[in-house]
Chains A and B, each alone.
Chain A
Amino acid sequence: MKYANKLFRTRKKDLYSGNSDRLFFLAMRENCIFQYDRCPDYKRLLDAKGFDPRRDLNSFDDLAGIPFLPTLYFKRHDLRANRRSLVQATSSGTSGGNKSRVGFSVSDLWRMWQMVKRVCSYHRLWSLKPTHYVVFGFEPNRSNKTAIARTSFGATLFSPALSRTYALRWRNGAYRLDLEAVKQKLIRYSKSKFPVRTIGFPAYTYFLLKEMKDAGIALQMPKGSLVTLGGGWKQFYAEKVSKEDFYRLVYEVLGIDDRHIVEFFGAVEHPILYTDCRCHHFHIPAYGRVIIRDPDTLQPVGNDRMGLINLLTPAVSVMPLLSVTTDDLGMVHTEPCPCGEPSPWLEIFGRVGIRDVVTCAQGASEFLKGAGDVK
């Protein structure tokens, strides 16, 4: 993983410069050959498609030809090379049979740490100031291996934590949504001299803030407070709440302006940290590439057109996660972004109306809805 290691040592200032194509290609080729040689299932899939990485990968443009694996495939097949000595994570599918099983080796994690260190430093997310954390997500629990539970805990380590409050609390063997407690804590922290960071699904953040607004609450969080979001906006599209309306709501209730709202994007099957810029665009970092594919033919459609999102990265060695496709729709924008970073940015559209594909956000929305409403 010589080239991958080099790629993940990309300097902070080059994260979004968009000039790492050659190194990215070499790392991908290295990874593809590595997986092909050591994962018999992967070799079988590539052979069935008539793809030989040594023969067919000669330039950056050939990366689109690597047969991609849908995230659905990882939900049904375990492609981990070694199932015991790995750090494991699962996606947050709410029914047991629908989780992707993904593992990372120590060297994979080291690469990811290099990434997190640089990305968060770039976006100024590290801080030495003690902070109150409010997590609109799952309280850590030994039985919960979902990546979102782990990363949201991890995100409380960006600065020294004075306190951690969870919206989904583990009580009597089940998670229960406790918005009232969160509300009370936020009111108290607004009078504190230490900043507050909220972490979690946009859905919870939104519903909680809306409830607070309806109750006539308008707070001013201490200077340096941040709202961080992750887990997807999907249900917002269904509710026709625009990001602009959301930012306005945050400002009205918490007194935090949109420059202090940071959104992350990533997936268990594509463990790359996308962080939005000050214009709220997900610039594609040096560690990953995105190919947009035609929803009918699955052929690449190029940039600035909508299609299915195919995510590429050479980050992981223990399983073939180098080219994965979700059933999200998106677009890669190449028009210049006012933030000044040259790399293109990814816009993710909702999967409007799909009920049977459970995503993080939809799983969360089950807690809001309760059971028994879906016909």
Chain B
Amino acid sequence: MIFYRGTCYENKEQSRLLGTLRNDCFRTLNQSPPLSRETVIRACDFLYRKVCDHAFDDIVLPLLRVVDLSYERFLEMGKLFSREGLEAKCRMELGENAEDRRLPSGTLCRRVPLGILFHIAAGNVDALPAYSVVEGLLAGNVNILKLPTGDSGVSVRLLSELVKAEPALAEYIYVFDVPSTETEMLKTFADIADAVVVWGGDAAVQAARTLCDVKTEIIAWGHKLSFAYAAADATDADLTALAEHVCATNQVLCSSCQGIFVDTDDMETVSAFAKRFYHILSDVNRRVGFADVGMRGKNSIRIYNDLLENPNQTVYYGNGVSVRVGEDSRLELSYLFRDVWVKPLKRTEIVPALKEHKAHLQTCGLLCGKDDRPILAERLLRAGVTRVTGGDLSRMFVGEAHDGFYPLARYSRIAEIDP
């Protein structure tokens, strides 16, 4: 399915449309009035209200089942698309440059779009491709979107509803269903674009780099790892909040906690901490209900295998959760689905231990006393962490940064026009 200037086409029209894409994009930049943020906000708000009125339950409900999200939580997240949510986002991300500003010298400072964005979206969250385009629109750009393979059609549906609400958006949205293997075609998109926005792991980002020549900027929203950092005497309340977060996200988000570093170099303290956390995690898990049976089975087998390989390893497991004690201080992915590692990391070692993962750090749930908080937070930030939270590492709020950056600011630039 292709969505081109507000009309859906069959894939067989691809080469014809590809032939006209460059001129059509340039025509918009050349002739059309700038896309006003208000138009985009109005369209999104209209769509948000329709969603609240259950007009899209046919696509929303299956989606929620897949990601295991409640309708209430979904509506909460949906608020990010309401007028209030988007206006707050723009204020937060664009700051004082949201509107034109006249300097005392008479020079006009204006936030202008980069021009044309080519989005390479990831397939793991269904509505993400559409969300990426909405951000591009808010910054005023023309957007070319490559759908992830196996896309369910949700993105095109959402984007076509936006165009229906505000026909002026039509010439700002182009969606193609091109496989990632068609590199020549992708190179054409990248060549037309001013910047390529890529979502995905290191491999996806690396692949995007090969598509672009030096003139095309790459904006990468990559894979991230998150973890907790705890004082050995972290409170039960803090650890319970962390356990709830682990169960609620199943550790599949970039912001999900994979493991806990304990501020010590004494292995007995680490083991005691792991045991305490196992009991808390196990209780929370029983309360909220077990993870999918397939994932539990996979983890049981992995732990059985670990113990075959190294019978002396300390692992607390059972009741659908596991807490593994590690002796090194390496940040790594857990087995996911309620498996957490616990490792020693003295506060003086935070920067050297974490710097190795510089491009991959995201959130740290900091569980410690009030007095220690500022100094530990500062050290984590210097190591490259972009968010320091409490036990709920995946908390969201309107206008929060993507991995340390404001997308709207990255999708636009500041222009200065002398009188």
Contacts and interface: CB of A to CB of B under 8 A. Distances in A.
A and B: real partners?
A: yes
Given A370-B180, A371-B203, A372-B204, A353 B302 contact: no
A70 B203 contact: no
A73 B297 contact: no
Interface string A336-374: 000000000000011111100100000000001111111
A142 interface: no
A73 to B, nearest CB: 6
B120 interface: yes
B184 interface: no
A298 B297 CA distance: 8
Contacts of A306: 293
Given A73-B309, A296-B319, A375 B301 contact: no
B297 A70 contact: no
B304 A372 contact: no
B318 interface: yes
A317 interface: no
B293 to A, nearest CB: 5
Contacts of B208: 372
B373 interface: no
B297 A373 contact: no
Contact of B293 (A77, A329, A369, A372): A329
A149 interface: no
A198 interface: no
A72 interface: yes
A76 B311 CA distance: 16
B207 A295 contact: no
Contacts, number: 107
- For the side of the interface on A, what is the size category? 20 to 34
14 contacts: A70-B308, A72-B302, A73-B309, A295-B296, A350-B294, A351-B298, A354-B295, A370-B179, A370-B181, A373-B123, A373-B204, A375-B123, A375-B125, A375-B199
A374 B123 contact: yes
A327 interface: yes
A368 B149 contact: yes
B294 A373 contact: no
A96 to B, nearest CB: 15
B295 A371 contact: no
B113 interface: no
Given A70-B305, A295-B300, A308-B300, A369 B204 contact: no
A325 interface: yes
Contacts of B301: 70, 72, 298, 308, 325, 327
A327 B297 contact: yes
Interface in A27-77: 45, 48, 67, 69-70, 72-73, 76-77
Contacts of B125: 375
B122 interface: yes
A296 B223 contact: no
Interface of A: 45, 48, 67, 69-70, 72-73, 76-77, 295-298, 306-308, 325, 327, 329, 349-354, 357, 368-375
Interface in B261-297: 292-297
**Interface SS of chain B:** mixed
Contacts of B292: 352-353
What 7 A-B pairs come out closest when comparing CB atoms?
A: A375-B122, A370-B180, A295-B297, A370-B181, A372-B204, A372-B180, A372-B207
A45 B201 CA distance: 37
Contact of B294 (A72, A353, A370): A353
Contacts of B150: 369, 373
A303 B295 CA distance: 21
A371 B298 contact: no
Contacts of B302: 70, 72, 327
Given A352-B292, A370-B179, A375 B311 contact: no
A329 B292 CA distance: 12
B320 interface: yes
Contacts of A77: 309
A373 B311 contact: no
Contacts of B384: none
Contact of A373 (B149, B293, B300, B319): B149
Given A73-B309, A354-B294, A373-B148, A296 B300 contact: yes
B151 to A, nearest CB: 9
Contacts of B320: 296
A351 B301 CA distance: 13
